[in-house]
Structure 1
Amino acid sequence: MKDRGRLLMFFLIGSEAFFFIALIIAYVYYRNFTGATDMVAHFLNVKRATILTAGLVLSSFTLIMSKRNLLKGRWKMAKLYMGGTIILAAVFLGGQMMEYIELYHKQVTISKNVFGSSFFTLTGFHGLHVIMGLIAISLLFGFSFGKFKVLTVAGIASVEAYWHFVDIIWLCVYTYVYITPLL
């Protein structure tokens, strides 16, 4: 079966989607029923999160462009766009780490209260998915140099689907964690 890998990726994405839905519901519940809405406005850096969100959304575009160029045999452009995706993902992770460090200095930790536990669980689990996507894209990038080019072409559709899933999940997380408490 030619599309077995892609089908398996969609099964993985479906199961992960249910897990993220549960984490988002738990986060919203704890934020709304523990008085943590004020903590969001006071402790979280919405401006940075907005910039990082824009970068993560842009990384989906660069991966789309990489795939288009790959399928047309334009390897230099495909590598350039894929490298851009890797850089944008790394910047996102760096920004998330900066936020974690700032929250730690403000005494907001995973063990301090329910808000901290649900925030770090939700955003940390998403960060783990960004890391896994970054590894997959980096592997494809490495394969694109040399005799493993066929692996790059075969794997790009599955990796692209996973990366778009990671971006869509972040848009949901960003909306519920950073935006709705300010409304």
Structure 2
Amino acid sequence: MTDTVITADNDDETEAGAAERAIEEKNYGFWICLTGDAIVFALLCAIFVTMAHSTADGPAGHTLFSLRHIFAQTMVLLASSATFGFASVALAAGRSRRAVLWLGVTFLLGSGFIAAEIAEFYGMAVADAGPWRSGYLSAFFTLVGTHGAHVSIGLVWIVLLGCEVALRGATPFATSRVYRLGLFWHFLVIVWITIFSLVYLPAFL
């Protein structure tokens, strides 16, 4: 009887240890993925800086951008980083319903950011300031569009994880997935601050 109990306990510890190792391996792999993404954005930023004065006969940034609009867009994304942090804290405390609520708020803020970016792209295209006009605009659309695509992927990910947390609760695997999504989301916020500093701000200085 005692041997049976000890064996069962050892099996439980083995399964728990294996699950923990699996989570750690996934987290490590995701850090490598983020490193690759960081290299991609660094290259795109370098290309933009190189093409910053290649406007040809097309418009320059100071005639296209609205600093008030871009600043508001930046504040929305920064706020979404904060709300995602609240979701992570709630999930760590085992409060899955509150975590889902904060994930929902994060989704709304991220959607607002993407809507503003689409409106900006559309307005530029209508004004014949699309990526076909100059090297500057090609580099701009590539850099900002790549970031927007990443945010859109993050929004889909938020919906999927929100559904998982709502249905299964704060399981270790759900918590680890939210942790990795948090790394991705905060990384995108840092990238956007870099874009704001390199692309938009110099246009008004």
TM-score range, shorter chain: over 0.9
Distance (Å, rounded) in 2 between the aligned partners of 1:55 and 1:95: 10
Code of the residue aligned with 2:52 in structure 1: it is R
TM-score scaled to structure 1, two decimals? 0.93
Partner of 2:45: 24
Partner of 2:115: 94
User: Does 1:121 pair with 2:136?
Assistant: no
Partner of 2:71: 50
Percent sequence identity over aligned pairs: 23
User: Does 1:133 pair with 2:154?
Assistant: yes
Shift of 1:138: 1.3
Distance (Å, rounded) in 2 between the aligned partners of 1:126 and 1:115: 17
Partner of 1:84: 105
Shift of 1:32: 3.2
Distance (Å, rounded) in 1 between the aligned partners of 2:136 and 2:53: 10
Partner of 1:39: 60
**Where do 4+ consecutive residues of structure 1 move more than 3 Å?**
32-38
RMSD of Structure 2 on Structure 1 (CA)? 1.8
Partner of 2:176: 154
Shift of 1:45: 2.2
Distance (Å, rounded) in 1 between the aligned partners of 2:122 and 2:92: 41
Contact kept in structure 2, 1:110 and 1:116, CA below 8 Å: yes
TM-score scaled to structure 2, two decimals? 0.84
Structure 2 unaligned regions, length at least 5: 1-20
Which of 8, 27, 31 is 1:6 aligned to? 27
Structure 1 unaligned regions, length at least 5: none
| Larger CA Rg, structure 1 vs 2 | 2
Contact kept in structure 1, 2:55 and 2:137, CA below 8 Å: no
User: Does 1:170 pair with 2:192?
Assistant: yes
